[in-house]
Amino acid sequence: MSGENQKGFTIIETTLFLAVSALLFISLFGGISLAVQRQRYSDSVNSTHSFLQKQFNETLNVVNNRDDDQCAPNTATIGASSCIVMGRAIQLHPATSDSDKIETFTIIGEDPDLPDGQEAKITDYNPRIIDNDNNAQEYLIPWAAQITAAQLLTTPTATNINTIILLRYPESGATFLYAVNSPPINTALDDSYINEDSRIDSDHGAVVCLHSQDITSAYARINFTGSGSQDGVLVDFDQASNCGL
């Protein structure tokens, strides 16, 4: 009786097959994981962009949810002529333990008592940031993205900042933007904060840099161009200039 030939895989062939299969699985899984990380980072940037744009809407479309005692003593109720809502303050925490957080506060002011015919400067309204405000907001950047830097693009060297101020000029309704460091709370913002050097405009924009914690090479910039509307807040993906790199 003749023996039949036994055919099958050798140990080496089986080992090679398993190794190649494992490599293909790892490559496929790694590609899917990277795609998920990129989508998360994109969501982080776009959500933050939308939140910052929202502050313009709240500056232009005022809602009075504040208490009367937030106006200075002896002034009228908010909504009356002497006590007015002027804008929003956006407080950032770049490169700190709170770099994944953005806080926003209301800015109120008072009609100045000036001689007839004299045009008021925006600082004549004594604008001040109030922290005990029903409209204060705290935003946590999703998916562990963090703000690594915030700068006003002055020349020849950019200036580090941590607060962006949106101020609506009551006489015209125009909105002006300023980028400053650590402005006082519940105290009038004077000319040392609200001035031409700190103003965000078409010549000197401001940038907020976001870094992904999942993808170390992923940076994006949110740009404030100085426009008085949400359309002046733009996003650049894969852009690391003025981000401390």
Phi, psi for 191 (deg, rounded to 5): -65, -15
Report d(CA 152, CA 245) in Å as an integer: 16
More confident residue, 60 or 179: 179
pLDDT at 22 over 50: yes
Q: What pairing do the DSSP bridges indicate for beta strands 233-237 and 128-130?
A: unpaired
> Number of C-alpha atoms within 13 angstroms, CB side, residue 64?
14
Q: How many residues does the chain have?
A: 245
Query: In this predicted model, what pLDDT tens digit does every residue of 47-62 receive, in sequence order?
Result: 999 999 999 999 988 7
Report d(CA 205, CA 133) in Å as an integer: 29
Report d(CA 147, CA 95) in Å as an integer: 6
Candidates 215, 209, 212; CA nearest to 239 is 209
More confident residue, 29 or 173: 173
**Domains in the chain: boundaries:** 11-237
Report d(CA 45, CA 150) in Å as an integer: 15
Residue 74 has a pLDDT of 43
Report d(CA 181, CA 197) in Å as an integer: 13
Query: In this predicted model, what pLDDT tens digit does every residue of 117-138 receive, in sequence order?
Result: 777 899 999 999 998 878 899 9
pLDDT at 227 over 70: yes
Residue with tokens 């060297």: 157
Phi, psi for 50 (deg, rounded to 5): -65, -40
CB of 127 closer than 8 Å to CB of 135: no
Candidates 101, 59, 65; CA nearest to 230 is 59
- β-bridge partners, 160: 151
CB of 189 closer than 8 Å to CB of 127: yes
Write the CB contacts of 70 (distance below 8 Å, at least 6 apart in sequence): 78, 108, 130, 132, 133
pLDDT at 163 over 90: yes
Query: In this predicted model, what pLDDT tens digit does every residue of 182-200 receive, in sequence order?
Result: 999 999 999 999 999 999 9
